[in-house]
Amino acid sequence: MNTALTRVGPAAERPAPPEEVESSETGGKEPAADAAPGPSTAFRLLVTRREPAVRLQYAVSGLEPLAWSEDHRVSVSTARSIAVLELICDVHNPGQDLVIHRTSVPAPLHSCFLKVGSKREVAECKQRFATSEDPTVSQTFMLDRVFNPEGKALPPLRGFKYTSWSPVGCDANGRCLLAALTMDNRLTIQANLNRLQWVQLVDLTEIYGERLYETSYRFSRNEAPEGSLRDFAEFQRRHSMQAPVRMEWSGICTTQQVKHNNECRDVGSVLLAVLFENGNIAVWQFQLPFAGKESISSCNTIESGISSPSVLFWWEYEHNNRKMSGLIVGSAFGPVKILPVNLKAVKGYFTLRQPVVLWKEMDQLPVHSIKCVPLYHPYQKCSCSLVVAARGSYVFWCLLLISKAGLNVHNSHVTGLHSLPIVSMTADKQNGTVYTCSSDGKVRQLIPIFTDVALKFEHQLIKLSDVFGSVRTHGIAVSPCGAYLAVITTEGMVNGLHPVNKNYQVQFVTLKTFEEAAAQLLESSVQNLFKQVDLIDLVRWKILKDKHIPQFLHEALEKKIESSGATYYWRFKLFLLRILYQSMQKTPSEALCKPTHEDSKILLVDSPGMGNAEDEQQEEGTSSKQISKQGKDGDPEDPTEDSLPQSGDTGGREPMEEKLLEIQGKIEAVEMHLTREHMKRVLGEVYLHTWITENTSIPTRGLCNFLMSDEEYDDRTARVLIGHISKKMNKQTFPEHCSLCKEILPFTDRKQAVCSNGHIWLRCFLTYQSCQSLIYRRCLLHDSIARHPIPEDPDWIKRLLQSPCPFCDSPVF
Ligand SMILES: [Zn+2]
Ligand SMILES: [Zn+2]
């Protein structure tokens, strides 16, 4: 094994023997000066447990069983289903626990048989191989699980091998899609569109098999004609060319679509690369939003020539608005390389001229996991890509920089991390911090430190046993902004004995302090609360515990609001006030967040779309509060209805009630500010897209009057905008009418419209139209409601309806 470590690349640092670092860890000695970097005090990490631990019903299965999506859902591959845990930063819940909404993707009912020929032919051949006189054929055939997914004498292959989340913005609601690979090689794409049930949008294994069948299992006309299926080697070849090993999504890219009138239109698309057993890679291109088979725009197969491929990942490098892409592929024998991916249709997209070898030795250290993070090199002053690969108990890293001289590659191994092989690796995309874990409950945090030309890693041990007691670990995943680490655990040894039963749990620990989270939120370049749910959840936890907003955060936020005025900071303020309001609740938090039987009933009765998907019972204290809200039709924005102090506690209520009223007043003021800002945006769209005589269907006059009605509100941009619009509209008013009695619906309230006969309609908070139907959409936190787009809506109204919630940034669906 050590031979591998001496063969590092030209820029390699000298790796230290593992024991040296290990001892500095446990004994608290200073690491030897020229040893691999040990933990320095600057990087001391304190992890804290977050409740609740989520119990899994089935054993975890597959490779890297845990994945955390950009929209804050954690998928866990198990032997019967994929458990999906959605982290909700609930502003209506006073409980200090994480609020987790559980759903699950059931495994298909039927085994998957890869299509290697016509039904009759395949049945004939199988019979022939099973009864072959040649034991190398009959035994190989009988024992191969790809050929025999149902098993017969062998236990059935069930459960999931791997899952991969698409970037956010891919499904019809603008959220993430889940690519799921079963143990028996069925690769499907799943979506959760109604919050409860997952639906399969497409079966890629089936489509790919059909395509191969139609082209007689050849990729080009020049290829030699196919062999006969009766030949066992050919039978094996046709299986291995379509048995997926892993799959990974690219980032969202833009493609040009030519319309009927020869006009070009930019369309979002995403790529899914699927690595097969024989080393081939299928690159699927999907149009967004992905809806199913009709969204497939192409599928190209790349022959990598890599034997025993084990893992792949996208390499995406951006430099001067030019995007470079390729696929990083690792092999079970050791090598790692980047392959070019040619896709003509993708705008501004470039690839390599030839493959780049990152590690060439066949040193039998299997590549288990690969991650690639884009970073900025502060000394070389250019963007660079950090590629990390888990190989045995080591981390291989590679830094790629593109300069005028061409592509620079620096590589090395980090040793002394684990005494057992790495079972799982995850990376924080914001800063390149890598976490590795071995099965003995030890997690390493690796922090990249830039040097003049390349980088080095500082690393330190996170002993989960300090937090959870003795545990075995099966997988880890870091949250998108690096606030939390999710870990799959089972009981470890107690008094030298293995546990009798294995209880699989997903547990959470914090990786950042509240101060770090707050600072990151204040300096955020994303400016979207929903995308930073993990960070705001840490802030929520702190405020609920302390029952006040820390002074430094309050002051820093007020400064930001004053200096930039960006609505993001107003939304952040609204969030803090709402949590502060919850923290003032007199009711014991348990009473509100523990699920009651009624809650579960509401959930079942009120969700017509719910089938057997939820095959795993609701966890106590995780989701009921959040779910039960869906069944309620009152205005969820009004916090008075269920959150004022409860009776039963007579003494000293008045100061608290006053305080609550004060916070509520502030909440309303911030909501009003955000509403006005959004109204200005809507009016701006109306002005841009309409002409005098056109009926906009948006209550324009009502919006203008509403904005002008408050004398205290003096906003120059609003006045100028309203002036322009008034000129355009002349004296026309375009009032809305009640669909029940045809009376005029006046615009007096931003939340609802009431006609003179007392019919009440809620207002869509994205367009301020009255929602005259009983079906509408809500944001994830149920702040408000929005209507569904209809085919008659002009494009600009459809775009407005795609906006996130103006109060919390979450998608509306
Ligand atoms: Zn009416
Ligand atoms: Zn919202």
Nearest to 237 by CA among 203, 212, 206, 205: 212
**pLDDT(519) > 90:** yes
Token pair in block for residue 720: 């100028």
Task: Tell me how far apart the alpha carbons of residues 150 and 155 are, in angstroms, rounded to a whole number.
Answer: 8
Q: Which residues contact 604 (CB under 8 A, 6 or more apart)?
A: 610
Give the number of whichever ligand sits closest to the CA of residue 813.
2
Q: Which segments of 291-397 does DSSP mark as H helices, in order?
A: none
810 C-alpha vs ligand 2 centroid, how far in Å? 6
pLDDT, tens digit, 9 for 90 and up, residues 732-767: 667 788 999 999 898 888 899 999 999 999 999 999
* 692 against 772, higher pLDDT: 772
- Do 277 and 295 meet the contact criterion of CB atoms below 8 Å apart? no
Which of the four pLDDT bands, split at 50, 70 and 90, describes residue 119? very high
Q: Which segments of 199-254 does DSSP mark as H helices, in order?
A: 204-214, 232-240
Q: What is the dihedral of CA 120, 121, 124, 126, to 10 degrees?
A: -110
The pLDDT of residue 253 is 87
Nearest to 165 by CA among 435, 378, 480: 480
Task: Tell me how far apart the alpha carbons of residues 521 and 527 are, in angstroms, rounded to a whole number.
Answer: 8
The pLDDT of residue 399 is 96
Nearest to 302 by CA among 204, 236, 220, 206: 220
Neighbouring residues of the ion ligand 2, judged by CB less than 5 Å: 779, 781, 783, 805, 807-808
Both ends of the chain: CA-CA distance in Å?
Answer: 53
Pairing outcome for strands 322-331 and 349-351: parallel
The label of the residue with tokens 């198990």 reads 78
pLDDT, tens digit, 9 for 90 and up, residues 74-112: 999 999 999 999 999 999 989 999 999 999 999 998 889
Q: Which residues contact 27 (CB under 8 A, 6 or more apart)?
A: none
- At 336, the amino acid letter reads V
The pLDDT of residue 611 is 36
The pLDDT of residue 741 is 93
Partnered with residue 795 across adjacent β-strands are none
64 C-alpha vs ligand 1 centroid, how far in Å? 57
Q: How many CB atoms lie within 10 A of CB 639?
A: 18
Can you tell me whether residue 588 is helix, strand or coil?
coil
Q: How many CB atoms lie within 10 A of CB 589?
A: 17
750 C-alpha vs ligand 1 centroid, how far in Å? 18
The pLDDT of residue 348 is 66
546 C-alpha vs ligand 1 centroid, how far in Å? 48
Q: How many CB atoms lie within 10 A of CB 503?
A: 12
Task: Tell me how far apart the alpha carbons of residues 788 and 274 are, in angstroms, rounded to a whole number.
Answer: 35
744 C-alpha vs ligand 1 centroid, how far in Å? 8
Partnered with residue 388 across adjacent β-strands are 371, 397
* 797 against 143, higher pLDDT: 797
328 C-alpha vs ligand 1 centroid, how far in Å? 62
Phi, psi of 578 (to 5 degrees): -65, -40
- Do 143 and 135 meet the contact criterion of CB atoms below 8 Å apart? no
- Do 389 and 370 meet the contact criterion of CB atoms below 8 Å apart? yes
Query: What mean pLDDT comes out for the span 627-656?
Result: 44
197 C-alpha vs ligand 2 centroid, how far in Å? 21
- Do 116 and 122 meet the contact criterion of CB atoms below 8 Å apart? yes
How far is the CA of 203 from the CAs of 114, 238, 421, in angstroms?
12, 18, 34
Give the number of whichever ligand sits closest to the CA of residue 575.
2
701 C-alpha vs ligand 1 centroid, how far in Å? 20
642 C-alpha vs ligand 1 centroid, how far in Å? 29
Query: What mean pLDDT comes out for the span 321-340?
Result: 92
Task: Tell me how far apart the alpha carbons of residues 437 and 420 are, in angstroms, rounded to a whole number.
Answer: 9
Q: Lowest-confidence range among 223-232, 428-437, 497-506, 690-699?
A: 690-699
The pLDDT of residue 694 is 58
Q: Lowest-confidence range among 155-164, 216-225, 562-571, 656-665?
A: 216-225
Partnered with residue 448 across adjacent β-strands are 457
The pLDDT of residue 3 is 31
Q: Which residues contact 697 (CB under 8 A, 6 or more apart)?
A: 734, 769, 793, 797
Max CA distance (Å), the chain? 95
- Do 592 and 611 meet the contact criterion of CB atoms below 8 Å apart? no
The pLDDT of residue 328 is 97
25 C-alpha vs ligand 2 centroid, how far in Å? 46
- At 300, the amino acid letter reads N
Q: Lowest-confidence range among 226-230, 250-254, 486-490?
A: 226-230
Q: What is the CA radius of gyration of the chain?
A: 29
* 616 against 247, higher pLDDT: 247
The pLDDT of residue 412 is 95
* 514 against 29, higher pLDDT: 514
87 C-alpha vs ligand 2 centroid, how far in Å? 15
How far is the CA of 151 from the CAs of 128, 146, 229, 236, 613, in angstroms?
17, 10, 21, 17, 26
Give the number of whichever ligand sits closest to the CA of residue 758.
1
Task: Tell me how far apart the alpha carbons of residues 780 and 41 are, in angstroms, rounded to a whole number.
Answer: 40
Give per-residue burial for 51-85: e unless 16+ CB within 10 Å, then b. ebbbebebebbbbbbbbbbbbbbbbbbbbbbbbbb
Give the number of whichever ligand sits closest to the CA of residue 807.
2
**pLDDT(320) > 70:** yes
Give the number of whichever ligand sits closest to the CA of residue 757.
1
- Do 244 and 335 meet the contact criterion of CB atoms below 8 Å apart? no
770 C-alpha vs ligand 1 centroid, how far in Å? 12
Which of the four pLDDT bands, split at 50, 70 and 90, describes residue 665? very high
**DSSP category for residue 320:** T
Contacts 24+ apart (CB under 8 A), 495-504: 502/59, 503/55, 504/55, 504/56, 504/58, 504/59, 504/60, 504/78, 504/474
The label of the residue with tokens 């009651």 reads 596
Give the number of whichever ligand sits closest to the CA of residue 529.
2
The pLDDT of residue 498 is 82
Give the number of whichever ligand sits closest to the CA of residue 782.
2
785 C-alpha vs ligand 2 centroid, how far in Å? 9
* 559 against 41, higher pLDDT: 559
Task: Tell me how far apart the alpha carbons of residues 4 and 365 are, in angstroms, rounded to a whole number.
Answer: 8
- Structural element, H or E, at residue 603: helix 597-605
Question: Could you tell me what percent of the chain has a pLDDT over 90?
Answer: 58
**pLDDT(701) > 80:** yes
Token pair in block for residue 216: 């007689």
108 C-alpha vs ligand 2 centroid, how far in Å? 35
The pLDDT of residue 731 is 65
**pLDDT(803) > 60:** yes
The mean pLDDT value of the chain amounts to 84
The pLDDT of residue 4 is 32
773 C-alpha vs ligand 2 centroid, how far in Å? 20
**pLDDT(521) > 90:** yes
Give the number of whichever ligand sits closest to the CA of residue 786.
2
Phi, psi of 810 (to 5 degrees): -85, 155
User: For helices 653-689 and 567-583, what crossing angle results, to 10°?
Assistant: 150
779 C-alpha vs ligand 2 centroid, how far in Å? 5
788 C-alpha vs ligand 2 centroid, how far in Å? 16
Query: What mean pLDDT comes out for the span 123-133?
Result: 89
The reported pTM is: 0.85
Total residue length of the chain: 813
Give the number of whichever ligand sits closest to the CA of residue 92.
2
738 C-alpha vs ligand 1 centroid, how far in Å? 5
778 C-alpha vs ligand 2 centroid, how far in Å? 8
Pairing outcome for strands 99-106 and 770-771: unpaired
631 C-alpha vs ligand 1 centroid, how far in Å? 25
Give the number of whichever ligand sits closest to the CA of residue 805.
2
Q: In a 10 Å sphere around its CB, with 0-12 CB exposed, 13-18 middle and 19+ buried, how is residue 398 labelled?
A: buried
**pLDDT(8) > 50:** no
Give the number of whichever ligand sits closest to the CA of residue 761.
1
Instruction: Give whichever of 36-40, 476-480, 623-627 has the largest mean pLDDT.
Output: 476-480
694 C-alpha vs ligand 1 centroid, how far in Å? 25
Phi, psi of 781 (to 5 degrees): -95, 5
* Complete DSSP assignment for 448-472: EEE-SSSEEEEEEEEETHHHHSSEE
Q: In a 10 Å sphere around its CB, with 0-12 CB exposed, 13-18 middle and 19+ buried, how is residue 774 labelled?
A: exposed
**pLDDT(252) > 70:** yes
788 C-alpha vs ligand 1 centroid, how far in Å? 21
Give the number of whichever ligand sits closest to the CA of residue 812.
2
Which of the four pLDDT bands, split at 50, 70 and 90, describes residue 692? low
Can you tell me whether residue 671 is helix, strand or coil?
helix
Query: What mean pLDDT comes out for the span 325-352?
Result: 86
802 C-alpha vs ligand 2 centroid, how far in Å? 13
Instruction: Give whichever of 187-201, 334-348, 790-804 has the largest mean pLDDT.
Output: 187-201
808 C-alpha vs ligand 2 centroid, how far in Å? 4
**pLDDT(621) > 60:** no
Give the number of whichever ligand sits closest to the CA of residue 766.
2
Q: How many CB atoms lie within 10 A of CB 736?
A: 21
